[in-house]
Structure 1
Amino acid sequence: MARKEPTSLKHPISQPMKVSSVTGKITDNNGNPLVGASVMDKATGIGVITDSNGEYALNVDQSNILIFSFLGFKTLEIAINGRPIINVIMQEDEISLQDVVVNAGYYNVKEKERTGSISKITSKDIEKQPVTNVLAAMQGRMAGVSITQTTGVPGGGFDIQIRGLNSVRTNGNNPLFIIDGVPYSTDPIGSGQASPVLPGQPSPLNSINPEQIESIEVLKDADATAIYGSRGANGVVLITTKKGKRGGTQFTANVSKGVGSVTRFMDLLNTQQYLAMREQAFANDGISPLPDRAYDVNGTWDRNRYTDWQETLLGNTSEITTLSSSVSGGSQGTQYLASGSFNKQTTVFPGDFNYKKANFNLNVNHESENKRFRSIFTVGYTIQHNLQPRDDLMTSALALAPNAPALYKEDGSLNWENSTWINPLSSLEGEYEAKTYDLIANSVLSYQISKNFEIKSNFGYTSTDNNETAALPSTQYDPAYGLGAAYSSLKVGTMSRKSWIIEPQLNYKEQFGKMGLDVLVGSSFQSQQGRMRDDLGQGFSSNSLIYNLASASVKSILLSQEQEYRYAALFGRINLNWNSKYIVNLTGRRDGSSRFGPGKQFATFGAIGGAWLFSREDLLKDNKILSFGKIRASYGVTGSDQIGDYQYLDTYGSTGSNYGGIIGLEPTRLFNPAFGWETNRKLEAAVEAGFLNDRIFITAGYYKNRSSNQLAGMPLPGTTGFSSIQSNLAATVENKGFELTLRTVNVQTQDFNWTSNLNITVSRNKLVAFPDLESSTYKNIYSIGEPLNIKKVYQFTGVDPATGLYTFADRDGDGKITFSGDRTLVKDFNPKFFGGFQNSFRYKKLQLDFLFQFVKQENYNATAFFAPAGMLSQQPTTVLDSWKKPGDIASHQMYTTGANGEAANAASRYASSDAAISDASYIRLKNISLSYDLPLQLKDMRCKVFVEGQNLLTFTKYAGADPEFKSAGYLPPLRVLSAGLQITF
């Protein structure tokens, strides 16, 4: 137990002293007491260590100098100068990177002894961002990790790729997520049939509260991931939550208020420009007089009216409220931390829609007095309630004519303008509501049998339950149509997913002279059960009964299924360390999965990694410039079983037809027990170097991964009744790239610090082999030698000055433009390179951090969001440069209402050509945080005020909604600005 009594560090020097007592408290930059910090008189060598409150007392000569030191913090020397009280705030020693401990999953390793590729961010980076999804906190901060947001609607998700796409299946590229040692399924919640406002389905990762995360490590190469076997093919994300620490009870409370808005609006036509376009379209198509249904131009709608529908439907301000608190402390033997948080976000859509999330987390650590027995218990519980409009209004905001009618009548009811339009707010009559309950529990028990042997076991349990409804009441229809309650409907989705895991382990460590040996052996036993059901109710006698499925006149089951997944494995690691200079790391895993048929259920994966710390060679050991140098390399094989459950079995589904009172069955999948695991061979070589006492630290690495034995649908002839059968394709996908990280300590003084972090990734993805590709159903999707994430498009060659129509290259030379022969130009949607540049400044109690994220890529431009120019639909201002008469040179073809078949076909091809794809590179001020510690006079209280921003500025030439965004028709990411207060005592 820490104590205040002086503890002699060495024999004092006998000399006369004018002794007096000096006391004080040592804390870190956040006001947390540093327990066990050393305080030593420089002249005499007498010293003490701080107690559980970070306090010390020492008898010293008033003219002497005190040395303050603590592991991980910069050592300070402070002259006493007769002062009886000296309080010290110690700064973290950010340049001692070599001794940073990294979580590698089943074991921990010092950064300097790491043989694998592992990227890490800590709570210092995470807690400065106003985000609710853990993946948002990782964007732009890790080399080799590409993350994109799929929607700006609260509760939406993110896509993550670690070193590219490995599988030809879109759902076969997800990394493994481990939370406090427990595998956490990130498969989307539900089937998606009841969540139309979100692309895909709700993301389970929203259940993880970023404020409660201590660190995130991403394992990338074979050396780091092979110990996870089949689950490590696409990388591993390790999330560690905050733990209790020794010391007195400490209470922390946070409150923040923020606002969110759409990052940018597109430049669209005003009313005069729009009407001129429409009139020209009718003239081009030879239509006169104007049709009765041309309400926008024939005078039915006010020709002088103008509404900015982007501002009207998407221009509201989202309000964000966050409350959180925690209490922590403990003795030397037992520590605890309990925390809770609440977050509420409204939307930018009209109406009272919101997303709420409440979270509770508890951690208790215990160590016996003899330090042999240790236990860690962690449990987290999250409740989410998401209430959103039935449809995303993004499509309406970009499609509505600028002179479309008013939304409301004078009496406040929806305006249907004599049935001449569909009021966009009618979709708000229906609601999408989802309630999610998520539990993650983990316990780790360990016992030190002897000096060298430790036995440990990890126990984990997760439970996710989701209930969602999508209501379409009759009030969403124009009353003039007389569509009563019989046309109301409700979709109900329920999902339940439970899993448990047990992982006993045995660890042996020994030092044989200069040789260090570390052996780990363990096993995994995991089971996961899932249930999912979607129901549809139609025809409610009253809209007040619409959420009672039993009240529907017609009820049907859209989907009903149960799944069970069982997994078992034996894993091991042998680490050899010679003289802290030469390191070899061997890892392996024998996996068994219930997703494969008999004889194919087991596979073995493994890797070897090595490192040479060349800076410890005698020639360089005392080098003044090079402070650290390491060369590392690894090679290994990981695998994948991400194909879903029961894929090898015959399965049957209901025909939905009643024959003689019996509902029939029909086959939905053919039996094939012959397919097995995907394999991913990973190779990497890297160099790490620190200069000037690690004030400059650089890591440069090259990797090359090849994924083969692809699990995909094998094409079948139509006579079989099936388009494909689940099998292993002899297709090979290659990912290779270069990663660079650079960290610099630019200025480091007592009052002012400035550090910078740069990461950049250059990656290439390629389909190396695919037997009989041209005769398969994949021929219009993939090409040998090209990336997986491609689009085959027409090659746009301009506007014919004579006809005014878009023209395209005849790539197969047959004299005509056809889908199969000429839609063959390959456009790569993978980023060419991406990364982030972070800077951190501290001046006394003022802290400033900001991160710029950058991506070099191509994406669909504004063309993807709009109908052909000339139709009853809004357009970007770029269409003003259009063909009017023979001889015109223009970027856009003649306007058409769609009645001109040739013009309509050309417009359709244009949207499927390279003209619809343009540079979508951007540099974005992803995150900024400014905080200040108020100079309070209270001894044990600290108060910090802060301002944080997300997606504040974007520098791009892209003309679409948002360069990061890849889903047309959905709300893009929001710009968020928040301010708050943190109190600690």
Structure 2
Amino acid sequence: MLALAMAGFSHGATAQQVGDPSESRGPRFLLATAERSRPVPVDLTRSAVLRRPLSLAFDSTPLKQALAEISRQAGLSLVYADDVLPAATLVNLRADHIAVAAALMDVLLDAGVDVVFTRDGRATLVKRPPGPAVQLGSIAGTVTAAGGGTLLPRATITVTGTRLTAEADAAGRYSISSVPVGTHRVRARMLGYAAADTSVVVEEGKETVVDFQLKAQAIELEAVVAVGYGEKRRENLTGAVASIGSEPLESRPITNTLAAIQGVIPGVVVERSGGQPGVEDFSLDLRGASSTNGGNSPLVLIDGVPGKLELLNPADIETISVLKDAAASIYGARAADGVLLVTTKKGTRGATRFTYSTNAAITKLTGMMDTPNNYQMAIMDNEANIHNGAAPMYTPDLLNRVRIGDPTPIPHPIYGSSGRMLFFTNTDWRKAVFENGFERKHTLTASGGGQNSSYYLSGDLFRPGRRDSICQRQ
């Protein structure tokens, strides 16, 4: 029965063609009433349910499965017996905003059934009453090339407006049977030849002979250039390919993609040549040094387009594949140092999906030795002066004041004339300037899609670790 009540049904003489059932290849939409012994046509223009828009994508889909999808989207539950529908029928239909009636008309074409509705809101598929026997004939002939008479095997011959078609055999002959009696247009076509068509009169029980002579025709084909900018299945590659997915990149609290792949992909050498927070400088190497006066960086393709890996957010990367051997040769001279194929994340069909991730890290200075305190520095200054043949800079009294951290400064013993003061307090200036930094990163993504499109939006906010100098704080 109908899951959603049928509303707005009416019947009229102009709603549908009500003639001989055999004249219509599609289903008829009928309304069964107690007042009439035979169902009457439904006015499709006044039925809200039959005009409801659908979005369908059927590719060799079984007929029953296609009907189930139409019923689900339309809010219908069609009732029919198993023997009503033809077995092993496949449906091919792709359409957006197609009406329920049009969808049923398409998938039930030549099925020999009608859709019958009742006043209480039920819909049933019933076999159409048999009409008079259809008178049939056949069409046969030969397809050759014009001028020389060369046979054209594999030429396609079609009866226009029907699903009747045939292919010429090795001798150029073809035959189409079960052609309804009447006048038809028959077309023959083959690649490299101009299509030809003619009008044919088919008589009952007779074979109509139609021969075609096709004229050669120059066709312009698009030039195919194998640039390699695209995706290739792993089994289609002839060389070894190293690759990683998104998990190793997302699990590391790193904001630079080059830093994220450091030590992760075999054979990929990533070197850091700068340490300024947020603007680190990296170099990438796959095949070693190949030039003494040029760069050795590999070709980076982001979704098939050359780009810079360091400008890409690691959270937006789906996979990274590395081509180092002959597999990179299809990319030309620019692939002399190898190729990195980067695939970014894509939206998937379904409702909008939001993801949020955040990470925090502490950055600190590395590779520095411990700094001596003021008293140790004063002792070393005195020793340096003595070894240099000069008098010690710090007297025993000054050394004692340095050791205890006397808060009262005095004019500098050597540079006092220029206004410099000597402080005795113990201050670790390197620690004050290069203090630890705290960096944060927030990433927000939105993805989704429909039947024919998808989307993936992402944004991230990065606050690098900040090391305030003593001058900035003062």
TM-score when normalising by structure 2: 0.43
TM-score (structure 1 length as normaliser): 0.22
Larger-gyration structure (1/2): 2
Which has the larger strand fraction?
Answer: 1
Task: Compare relative contact order (CA 8 Å, sep 6+) and give the higher one, 1 or 2.
Answer: 1
